[in-house]
Structures are given as structure tokens and as C-alpha cells.
Amino acid sequence: MGYEERLQELLDELDLFQDWTERYEYIIGLGKQLPPLPEALKTDDILIKGCQSRVWLHTESRDGKLILAADSDSLITKGLIALFVRLLSGLPAEEVIKADMSKLDQTGLKDHLAPTRANALNSMAGQIKQAAARIASGS
């Protein structure tokens, strides 16, 4: 399943909830499902810049595909990075590069997050795209 299909699946799931409290709980639940990032990987060089909370994003390449692992010290932020892991991890680097991250706006998240958290979404997306570009270029 590619990015567009994964995004549509996520949008369909979010539509099941009646209000934003339920959607937040769902997103927090996604974060709780993320496997914890080993402490040895939680280094400053993989911290996402521009996030109010600490968010670590470990990226690697397997057969040209971007593999993501992440963690955060905040439940909601961990849920937000879990969305990106769900949508993008395991996809070919070229597909991640081409993925239209603005389509995430269809979730309505940016309208219901504090401005600092909304900016964190952009930072997360940017760092993931940079990792995909490194993989695609072979560096």
C-alpha cells in the first residue's frame, strides 16, 4: 500500500470519531503503540528541530525503502510522529520524496493543534523528506 492509500485509510479512521477529543485519544493511542526507541539511539543528532517536545526520529534504508523509528517525551507528539511512521515507513525513498505532505491537512490536525505543535508537523515532515532524499541519492 502506497502513501495515498495509507493516507486515505487514516482519513477514513479519523472520520469514525465524533469529536476532536476522541481523535486526540486515537492519535495518542497510535503513539503508545510505537515500539520504544532504544536509549542508545536517542541522541541529539536525531532530534527533530522546531518541536516543543523532544522527538527523536531514527531513519535507515532497507532495499531503497525508508524505515522510520521514532519516540517522544510527550504523548501527543509521540502520536503525531506515529502518524508519519504509519504513513511513510517502508515506502520507497522516491515515493516519500514525492508524497504531498500538505494532504495531511485533510485530517484537520493543524486546525486543532497549538501553533507550536502544528509547526512540529512541518518539522517532522521536512526531516523525513531529507532522510528520503539522502537514501535516494545514495549518501
For 29-49, what is each residue's pLDDT tens digit? 999 999 999 999 999 999 998
C-beta of residue 81 within 8 angstroms of C-beta of residue 57: yes
The residues facing 70 across adjacent strands are: 57
C-beta of residue 47 within 8 angstroms of C-beta of residue 59: no
What number of helices (H) and strands (E) belong to the chain? 6, 2
Please provide the CATH number assigned to the domain covering 3-36+46-137: 3.90.1010.10
Q: Mapping DSSP to helix (H, G, I), strand (E, B) and coil, where does residue 44 land?
A: helix
More confident position, 139 or 81 = 81
C-beta of residue 132 within 8 angstroms of C-beta of residue 93: yes
d(CA 23, CA 132): 29
User: Catalytic residue among 7, 28, 51, 109, which?
Assistant: 51
**pLDDT for the residue 128:** 96
Tell me, yes or no, if 51 is annotated catalytic: yes
Q: Where are the domains of the chain?
A: 3-36+46-137
pLDDT over 90 (residue 132): yes
**pLDDT for the residue 115:** 77
Q: Which three cell numbers stand for residue 59?
A: 531513519
pLDDT over 70 (residue 139): no
